[in-house]
Amino acid sequence: MTWTDEELVAKSIGGDADSFNQLVLRWERPIYALAYRTIGRQEDARDVCQETFLRAFRALPGFRGQAKFSSWLYRIALNLCRDWIRRERRAPVVQPPEDVDLIELAAAAEPSESIEDLVARKDLMRLVESAMALLPDEQRTAIVLKEYHGLTFQEIAELVGCPLSTVKTRLYQGLIVLRRELSKNSKAER
């Protein structure tokens, strides 16, 4: 039987550690992905993800279900990302590999994907990462939450604490910057 997040939260509060493990299992990847796309560093994203769940676990008794569990978790993760960025005092930098590692590429290859396709895909990912790293925090957060986590504008507005129209404007502006950067980089690559 599949329990809902809210049911698992209630069981966890009641002292069932396995329920919290199930929540971790369910949400660790989205939270890690959010952290990675926001701060751009694999190791730090992992730390943020870990810390998010630890904080959530500690604060679980105080969770009253005013928001969805996932929104609550996202908020904790975003706050941690914000702290991380503030602490680092610099724009987040996604670390692209210096050169293409064929062994890694071969390991990551889809069965039907040729090495050329794979290199092209990796290149595109690198371009996107670099372009995303140029965005201001609030635009990047809006795009990440919308594009990769499928949150509604309203949910994003509540999560980041700004009006709905501001979320849309940030998304639009972010997409425009990405469009410019991606087309610039694509031309440079050719």
Partner 1 sequence: MTEFLCEYGDDRDGAIVAFLYDDADGSPGERTRFETHLPTCARCRADVAALRGVRTQLARWSPPEPIDLRSTINNQHARWWRDIPAWAQVAAALLFLGVSAGVANLDVRYDGNGLSIRTGWSTRSGVAQSASPANDAPWRADLAALERQLKTELRAIQASSRPAPAQTVRAASATDADVTRRVRALVEDSEKRQQRELALRIAGLLRDVNAQRQSDLVKIDRTLGVVQNSVGIEVMKNRQQINQMDLLYRASQKQ
Residues near partner 1 (CB under 8 A): 21, 24-25, 28-29, 32-33, 36-37, 42, 45-46, 49-50, 53-54, 121, 124-125, 127-129, 132, 143, 146-148, 152-154, 164-165, 168-169, 171-173, 175-176, 178-179, 182
Structure tokens at 95: 């670390």
Q: Which is nearer to partner 1, 64 or 187 (CB)?
A: 187
Task: Supply the minimum distance, in Å, between the C-beta of residue 90 and partner 1.
Answer: 20
Supply the minimum distance, in Å, between the C-beta of residue 114 and partner 1: 16
Nearer to partner 1, 115 or 179 (CB): 179
Please, what is the minimum distance in Å from the beta carbon of residue 82 to partner 1?
A: 19
Minimum Å gap between C-beta 80 and partner 1 is: 14
User: Taking a C-beta distance cutoff of 8 angstroms, is the pair 35, 45 a contact?
Assistant: yes
Alpha helices in the chain (DSSP H): 5-13, 17-39, 42-59, 69-88, 102-108, 115-134, 137-143, 153-160, 164-189
Q: Which residues contact 4 (CB under 8 A, 6 or more apart)?
A: none
- 89 versus 115: smaller Cβ distance to partner 1: 115
Contact partners, residue 62, CB within 8 Å, separation at least 6: none
| 8 Å CB contact between 20 and 8 | yes
What does the alpha-carbon distance between residue 23 and residue 3 come to, in Å, rounded to a whole number?
A: 10
Which is closer to partner 1, CB of 89 or CB of 110?
Answer: 110
Residue 8 CB, nearest approach to partner 1 (Å)? 15
